[in-house]
Amino acid sequence: MKISKDSQGVVFRKKADNVEFLLLKKYDPEQDRVDFRLVKGGIEEGEKPEETILREINEETSLIDLNLLNKLEGYSYQATDVLHEVSVFIVENTKDNEIKVDSTHEGGFTIESANWFSSQEAQKILFFDQEKELIRKALDLI
């Protein structure tokens, strides 16, 4: 079985007294559905997981003013014949720049949009339960 090492970010911003989370709206052609997801991508050779998540956020959303805060407990899952081992980080977006989505490096997936959501809304619309739990854990640490 092939192993893929991935890095995922729970990206947030503080807006007045609220915390908002960045979610990607992605089209999955294999499942023929649109899901809300956290930013995630593969770790390239020679790259540290911390570097990967900052690169992925920038590639997928064009955001660059980021502050890596904490590492959360990682997780793993199997998709077809690939075991994904995921490192998870809490990342603060420190400047309100325009988001410009880019699906160039998405391996067939299409990022339709990226938007900020309250924690309640994010937990309601995220597709995977694991990602909903990451939002809850991040809230405890922010």
pLDDT value of residue 45: 94
Is it the case that residue 16 has pLDDT exceeding 90?
Answer: no
CB 6 within 8 A of CB 48: no
pLDDT value of residue 80: 83
pTM to 2 decimal places: 0.92
Q: How far apart are CA 19 and CA 24, in angstroms?
A: 17
Is it the case that residue 126 has pLDDT exceeding 80?
Answer: yes
pLDDT band at 106 (very low <50, low <70, confident <90, very high): low
Question: What digits encode the pLDDT tens for the residues 69-99?
Answer: 989 989 998 888 899 999 999 999 999 888 9
The full set of domain ranges for the chain reads 2-141
Ranking 15-24, 34-43, 50-59, 94-103 by mean pLDDT, the lowest is: 94-103
- φ, ψ of residue 29 in degrees (nearest 5): -70, -30
Query: What architecture is the 2-141 domain classified under in CATH?
Result: Alpha-Beta Complex (3.90)
Quote the percentage of the chain above a pLDDT of 90.
74
Q: DSSP character for 99?
A: P
